[in-house]
Amino acid sequence: MFKRENLTVPNFLTICRVLFIPLLLYQVHHNMRLGFLITYLLVASTDFFDGQVARRFNQKTDLGKILDSYCDLALYLTTAYFIYVLYPEQITPVLPLLYVLIGMIVLSIVVSLVRTRKAIMMHTWLLKAPAGLLFLYVIFSYFYSSPWALGVVIVVYMLGFIESIIIFIKYGDVNPDSKSMFHVELAEPKKTA
C-alpha cells in the first residue's frame, strides 16, 4: 500500500535514475556522445544526492532503500550497454569479467533470498566505491580509450558482491546500509501492529 511518507525528494531523485534511462538510450543510439555524457553525469549524480538529502533532512524510508538499490542496479547495468554501443573497443576486452560480475550479482541476490527470504542489495563501501569509479570512467572514456580502467571498475564491483555474499551467508538479514563485512548491522525486527 502506498504511504504518504514515501513522497520524498530523495525517493524522487532515486526514481529519476530509471526515468532518464530512455533519454540516455536515445542519445546513445543517435551517437550524441556529449549530450549522453552530460545527461549521464546529471542522472548518476542523483545516486550521491538522494542519500545526502535523505540523511540531512531525515527522509530515510524503507521504500527509499529498496528503490535506491534497484535503480542503481538498473542504471549501472544499462551503463555497460551504453559503453558497449558508444565504445565497443573498450568493453570487448573485459566482456568475460563483465559476465562474471553479472553472475555474481545474480548469486548475491539468490543468496540473500535464500538466507533472508528477500532480495537485498547492500550499500557497503566496497559497492559505493565502484559506483564512483564508474562515474569517473564514463567521463574519462569520453576523452580516452581505457579498457583497463573499466576492468578495474568491474573487479572492484566483483569484490563488493563477494563481500555481500559473505555478509548474507554469515549474518543473514542485515541492514543494507552496513558499511562493510567488518561493520555489519543486523536488520531491525519488523514491528507488528
SS (H, E, C) 44-72: HHHHHHHHHHHHHCCCCCHHHHHHHHHHH
pLDDT digits (tens, 9 = 90+) for 86-112: 999 999 999 999 999 999 999 999 999
CA distance 40 to 21: 9
CA distance 141 to 150: 9
Q: What is the pLDDT of residue 2?
A: 59
Residue 188 has pLDDT above 80, yes or no: no
How large is the average pLDDT for residues 156-172?
A: 96
Task: Give whole-number Cα distances, 64 to 3, 117, 125, in Å.
Answer: 12, 19, 18
Residue 1 has pLDDT above 50, yes or no: no
pLDDT digits (tens, 9 = 90+) for 148-161: 999 999 999 999 99
For residues 5-21, one letter each, b for 16 or more C-beta atoms within 10 angstroms of the residue's C-beta and e for the rest, the string is eeebebbebbbbbbebb
Residue 190 has pLDDT above 90, yes or no: no
pLDDT digits (tens, 9 = 90+) for 60-78: 888 888 888 889 889 988 9
Q: Model-level pTM? A: 0.86
- Provide the β-strand partners of residue 174: 186
